[in-house]
């Protein structure tokens, strides 16, 4: 039942409609979609924002997870609780909080450009906790003796982290990146309050619906976006399963 509206959306994107009724099969919505320059700009903005914020969130979240994992239990609990704030907080509260923060920073003389900068900051902050929650379980599964052996053999902490620890975390990092990317694509409320002059897919379609009504090309874009994200998530999970299978075989040979 949760996916029924998406199925209806896909059916309508592949159909001719007249007065809200399906009259036949058609791909016209998809050709119209690629001919809509403003919609294509919004799509490009959305994917650039998602990739940049997801990359930053993966980098920050991975090293934060490593730091949390090596902290004392009391400190880890406090910071882990703080990490959950943007996860459990309502999007409307988070979006307005970011908006007020950027206004405050400008008022005290810190010139944060409205648009790309505010969007990247906001989307990075809201997706970092999900990367942390993805990487931490993998860290608990690792053999700490491997990292310590690298230190004993002369590698510094940074080199041991980059050459030994991060390759073992690659699957979790990839999953965290995919999750952060999809969360960025999914966002509407935070982008609505902090977008400046940058339009994402969600804000563009929302504005277009209020002024011009629903075009079939918007249905086509939404359907295509759903299929692309679904394929991405399936690919990432299959890749993780394949890496885990290889790792298990490797560990079995060692034993």
CATH classification for the domain delimited by 37-214, as one of 3.40.1350.10, 1.10.3720.10, 3.40.50.2000, 3.10.200.10: 1.10.3720.10
Nearest Cα to 125, choosing from 113, 115, 117, 137? 117
Q: For 84-121, write each residue's pLDDT tens digit.
A: 888 888 888 988 999 999 999 999 988 888 889 999 99
pLDDT value of residue 111 = 85
Q: Copy the structure tokens of residue 108.
A: 């005290």
Domain ranges of the chain: 37-214
Q: Copy the structure tokens of residue 120.
A: 């990247």
Is 13 or 117 the better-scoring residue by pLDDT? 117
> Is 30 a residue whose pLDDT tops 60?
yes
Positive or negative torsion for Cα 102, 106, 111, 113:
positive
- Give the whole-angstrom CA distance, residue 40 versus residue 30: 12
Nearest Cα to 180, choosing from 131, 132, 136, 228? 131
pLDDT value of residue 151 = 80
Q: For 187-239, write each residue's pLDDT tens digit.
A: 899 998 888 888 898 888 888 877 766 777 888 888 888 888 888 778 877 87
Q: How confident is the model at residue 252 (pLDDT cuts 50, 70, 90)?
A: low
Q: For 116-139, write each residue's pLDDT tens digit.
A: 999 999 999 999 999 999 998 888
pLDDT value of residue 251 = 63
% the chain with pLDDT above 90 = 22
Residue 237, number of CB atoms within 10 A of its CB: 12
Contact 206, 188 (CB under 8 A): yes
> Is 4 a residue whose pLDDT tops 70?
yes
Contact 12, 219 (CB under 8 A): yes
> Is 20 a residue whose pLDDT tops 70?
no
> Considering the chain, what is the average pLDDT of its residues?
84
């Amino acid at each position: 039942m949760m996916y029924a509206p998406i199925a209806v959306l896909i059916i309508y994107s592949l159909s001719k409609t007249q007065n809200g009724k399906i009259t036949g099969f058609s791909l016209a919505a998809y050709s119209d979609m690629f001919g809509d320059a403003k919609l294509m700009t919004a799509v490009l903005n959305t994917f650039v924002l998602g990739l940049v914020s997801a990359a930053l969130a993966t980098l920050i979240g991975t090293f934060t997870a490593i730091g949390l994992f090596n902290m004392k239990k009391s400190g880890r609990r406090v910071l882990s609780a703080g990490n959950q704030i943007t996860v459990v907080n309502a999007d409307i509260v988070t979006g307005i909080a970011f908006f007020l923060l950027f206004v405050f920073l400008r008022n005290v003389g810190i010139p944060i450009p409205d648009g790309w900068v505010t969007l990247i900051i906001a989307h990075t902050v809201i997706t970092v906790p999900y990367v942390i929650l993805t990487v931490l379980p993998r860290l608990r599964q690792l053999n700490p003796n491997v990292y310590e052996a690298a230190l004993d053999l002369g590698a510094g902490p940074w080199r041991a982290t980059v050459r030994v620890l991060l390759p073992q975390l690659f699957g979790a990092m990839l999953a965290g990146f995919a999750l952060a990317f999809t969360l960025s694509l999914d966002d509407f409320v935070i982008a609505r309050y902090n977008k400046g002059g940058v339009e994402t897919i969600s804000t563009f379609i929302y504005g277009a619906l209020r002024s011009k009504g629903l075009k079939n090309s918007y249905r086509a874009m939404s359907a295509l976006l759903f299929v692309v994200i679904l394929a991405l998530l399936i690919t990432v999970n299959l890749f993780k399963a394949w890496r885990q299978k290889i790792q298990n075989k490797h560990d079995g040979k060692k034993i």
